[in-house]
Amino acid sequence: MTTATPTVAAGTQNTDGTPTTTAGRVRKRLNSRTATLVSIVIAVVWTIPTFGLFVSSLRPEDEIKTTGWWTAFTNPQFTFENYQQVLFGRSSSSGQLAGSFVNSLAITIPSVLFPLAFACLAAYALAWINFRGRDWVYIAIFALQIVPLQMALVPLLKFFSTGVTLGGVTVMPAWDLVDEQKFAQVWFAHTCFALPFAVFLLHNFISQLPGDLMEAARVDGASHPKIFRTIVLPLITPALAAFGIFQFLWVWNDLLVALIFAGGGDETAPLTVRLAEMAGTRGNEWQRLTAGAFVSIVIPLIVFLSLQRFFVRGLLAGSVKG
C-alpha cells in the first residue's frame, strides 16, 4: 500500500467481497471489463512518454536520430555512451552535467534544511504559545502563500546586487557574490519563498497534537523550547518528512529561481537550467537530451518512490504549492 491513506478503514471490503466505497461500487457495477480497459489505457498513455525517453537514452546516437525508440524491441542496441558523454564529456556541447548535478545538490540541501527548521519553530509558536495577535500573524503568513514569487523577483535580485540604502545610509551592503558564492542567494530566495507554505503545512500537523500532552509537560515545569525539542519534534517527524520531500522536489525541479539567482555559469547552474538551455540550442541532439533529462529525473524519482507515503500525507494535509 503506497498511496492509500489512513482513512481507508471506511472502505475495507465486506465479507461477501463487495466493496463498500461508492467508487468501488460504481466501478464494479460499471461493466468491470470496460473499467479495467479504460484504466489500463490511461496508465499506458501516462507511462509511455517517460518510458520512450528512457529507452532512447540508452540507444546509440545514430539509432536515436534515425529510427523511433520502439524499434529497439526488434533491433535492440544499447549503450551507456550517451550518459558518459552528457555527464563527463569535455566539449562544451556535451552538457557537462556532472558539474550541474553537483550544483543541484549544493542548491537543494540547504534550501530544504533552512525553511524546514525556521518553519517548524514558527509553526510551534503559532500553535502552542499564547501571545497577543497570534491569529493575525498566522493569517498574514498564510495569506502570503498567494503572492506569486514573480512578484518578488526583480526587487530581490536588486537587493542582492545593490544592498539596501535608507536616506543615503547603507543599511545593508551589496552581497557582491561571484561564482559558487551565488548559491547563498539561491538558498535565501528558496527559503523565503517556501516559508508561507511550510508554516501552513507544519501548523496543520503541530496544532493537531494532543493538548493534554503539552499541558502535562507545562505542569511539570517544562519550558517551550524544551517541549519543542523533546515532545513536538519527535512527534512531527512524518510531517517534517512530508514537507522535506515537497521542498526537495520543488527546489530540485525549479527553473525560474535558479535561472535568476544562480545564473547560467558552470559554477552554479543546476541541472534544470542546463537542460532547458540544451533543449533550446541543441533541440535535435536527442542522444544528449534524453540522457540528460533522465539524469535530472533519477534522483527525484528515487526520493519520490521511496518516500511516497509521506509525500501523499503532506498533499492531503494542505494543498500543494503552486
Partner 1 sequence: MEFDFADQQPKFLMLMYGLVAFVLVVGGLLLLLDVVPAWFARRREAQLVAASVSGAPLPRRPRQREGIFALFFLLPTLLLLTIGLVVPAIRTVLLSLMNGDSTEWVGLRNYGFLFSDDAMVRVLINTLVWVLVVPLVATGFGLIYAVLVDKARFEAVAKSLIFLPMAISFVGASIIWKFVYAYRGDGDQIGLLNQIVVSMGGEPKQWLLESPLNTLLLIVIMIWIQAGFAMVVLSAAIKAIPGDIVEAARLDGVSPWQMFWRITMPSIRPALIVVMVTLTIATLKVFDIVRTSTNGNYDTSVIANEMYNQAFRYGQSGQGSALAVFLFILVIPVVIYQIRNLRQQREG
Residues 98-117 that bind partner 1 (CB under 8 A): 98-99, 102-103, 105-106, 109-110, 113-114, 117
x/- site string to partner 1, residues 149 to 188, per CB under 8 A? Answer: xxxxxxxx--x-------------------xxx-xx--xx
Q: Are 293 and 100 in contact (CB under 8 A)?
A: no
Distance of alpha carbon 311 from alpha carbon 305, whole angstroms = 10
Angle, CA of 32, 37 and 39, to the nearest 5°: 95
Residue nearer to partner 1 on the CB measure, 213 or 265? 265
Q: Does 3 bind partner 1 (CB under 8 A)?
A: yes
> Considering only residues 116-145, where is the footprint of partner 1 by CB under 8 A?
117-119, 121-122, 124-126, 129-132, 134, 137, 141, 144
- Kindly tell me which residue out of 174, 192, 214, 217 binds partner 1, with binding defined by CB under 8 A: 192
Taking the complex as a whole, how short is the minimal distance between the CB of residue 293 and partner 1, in angstroms? 4
Question: Is 193 strand, coil or helix?
Answer: helix
Taking the complex as a whole, how short is the minimal distance between the CB of residue 10 and partner 1, in angstroms? 5
Q: Does 23 bind partner 1 (CB under 8 A)?
A: yes
Q: Which stretch binds partner 1 (CB under 8 A): 74-82, 195-203, 211-219, 235-243?
A: 195-203
> Considering only residues 252-291, where is the footprint of partner 1 by CB under 8 A?
252-256, 259-260, 267, 271-272, 275-276, 279-280, 283, 286, 289-290
Taking the complex as a whole, how short is the minimal distance between the CB of residue 213 and partner 1, in angstroms? 18
Q: Are 205 and 239 in contact (CB under 8 A)?
A: yes
Taking the complex as a whole, how short is the minimal distance between the CB of residue 243 and partner 1, in angstroms? 14
Q: Does 10 bind partner 1 (CB under 8 A)?
A: yes
Angle, CA of 187, 188 and 194, to the nearest 5°: 85
Closest CA to 304 of 239, 240, 248, 236: 248
Taking the complex as a whole, how short is the minimal distance between the CB of residue 178 and partner 1, in angstroms? 11
C-alpha cell at 101: 548535478
Q: Are 107 and 183 in contact (CB under 8 A)?
A: yes
Q: Does 226 bind partner 1 (CB under 8 A)?
A: yes
Taking the complex as a whole, how short is the minimal distance between the CB of residue 11 and partner 1, in angstroms? 5
Cα pseudo-dihedral 226, 315, 153, 106, rounded to 10? 70
Cα pseudo-dihedral 149, 269, 246, 125, rounded to 10? -60
Taking the complex as a whole, how short is the minimal distance between the CB of residue 223 and partner 1, in angstroms? 4
For 18, residues 6+ apart whose C-beta sits below 8 A from its C-beta are 25, 28
